[in-house]
Structures are given as C-alpha cells and as structure tokens.
Amino acid sequence: MYVVVWKYKIKLTERREFETEYGLNGSWSAFFRKSQAFLGSKLFAGNNHTYLIIDAWDTRQAYENFLQRFRLEYELLSDQFTYLFEEESRIGDFHEINGALTTIL
C-alpha cells in the first residue's frame, strides 16, 4: 500500500463544506475512484481547524499514472476548492513496510 498525506488549515466558516468535499463521499474521493488502484481516503479533524487526509493507493506507480492521466482534471478540482482553506501542505508519501492483518483504510 502507498499513501499520500495532506494537512489543511481550513477557514472556520467553511468547515461543513470542507468536510463534505474532502470526506468519504466528496468530490475528491469520487474523482480518485476513477482508478481501481485507489483504495480510499480517511479524513481526520484536529485542533485549530486543522485536518489530515490520507489517500491510499495500491502502489506509487498507480498513483503517479493516475496523476499523469488526469492532471488537468486534478488541477481544476484543486483550484475549485482553494477558498475552503488557509493552508495546504503535503506532509509526504509513504509505502507500507509489512502487510498487515487489518487495515486502517
């Protein structure tokens, strides 16, 4: 498994919409589901209007192939939601070391 982790500091007035668009059935998950290699996303709320998002994929290569194929759509979707947050940072990307008996995603 390969995951990409993002951190957001959202605008307080946009909490509900952010959670909708970046949540389980939001625009981003719907977009990523175009790929069979997309395993799912988890949205976590923290303190001070911060959120953590973990997007899981079969492999890094599958993720990169998806981004290359759908680059324009990705950029348009990203631009569409910039008004929801004050800060966006990609914490990093990580690959699973050992296969686990249970998964968190």
CA angle, 24 then 20 then 61, to 5°:
45
Q: How many Å apart are CA 35 and CA 27, to the nearest integer?
A: 14
pTM: 0.88
Residue range 67-102, pLDDT digits in tens: 999 999 999 999 999 999 999 999 999 998 876 555
Q: How many Å apart are CA 24 and CA 19, to the nearest integer?
A: 9
Domain at 2-93: CATH architecture: 2-Layer Sandwich (3.30)
CA angle, 94 then 95 then 96, to 5°:
125
Domain boundaries, the chain: 2-93
Give the residue-averaged pLDDT of 25-52: 96
Residue 81 tokens read as 């939601």
